[in-house]
Amino acid sequence: MDADKFQFDLISPEEKLISERVGMVTIPGEEGDFGVVIGHAPLLSAIRPGVISIGRWLNDNAPRRIFVAGGFADVGPTHCTVLAEEAHDLGLVDVTVLDAEIDKLANSMAATPEEERRRNEIRLAVLQAKRAAI
């Protein structure tokens, strides 16, 4: 077991996406991005839509980048657990499909009832944040 690594779990409503020992994780917290390494002080933070980078700076591999639509992070000295509302590995996102989904949602906004329009505005903001992350 590597002494400079901690347990990282990323869980979405559909599945546990990641459960592994990592050297560092960068998380998009509500009040700004924050990094987690072994020995981090206990912390509970809301997460804004953005990218979680895994493994950055501590190895030769490029960081794994996961887009999250929001959620919560529970951090302790030996672990970090992220409960994400929605999570997608950016390396697997089809940009053409994403752009089409953004266009379709944006074009349908005017013709929807107010309550549904509010939900669609939130969804559109998340999709646009995912596109910007790519």
pLDDT tens per residue, range 11-33: 999 899 999 999 999 999 999 99
Q: 73 or 116, which is more confident?
A: 73
- pLDDT of 2 > 90? The answer is no
Distance CA(59)–CA(22), nearest Å, equals: 10
Residue 1 counted as domain residue = no
Pairing of the two strands 6-11 and 79-84: parallel
Q: Please report the pLDDT score of residue 59 as a whole number.
A: 52
Query: What radius of gyration do the chain's Cα atoms show?
Result: 16
Residue 109 counted as domain residue = yes
Q: Which domain holds residue 16?
A: 6-89
User: Is the whole-model pTM more than 0.75?
Assistant: yes
Residue 126 counted as domain residue = yes
If asked whether residues 27 and 71 sit together in one domain, one would say yes
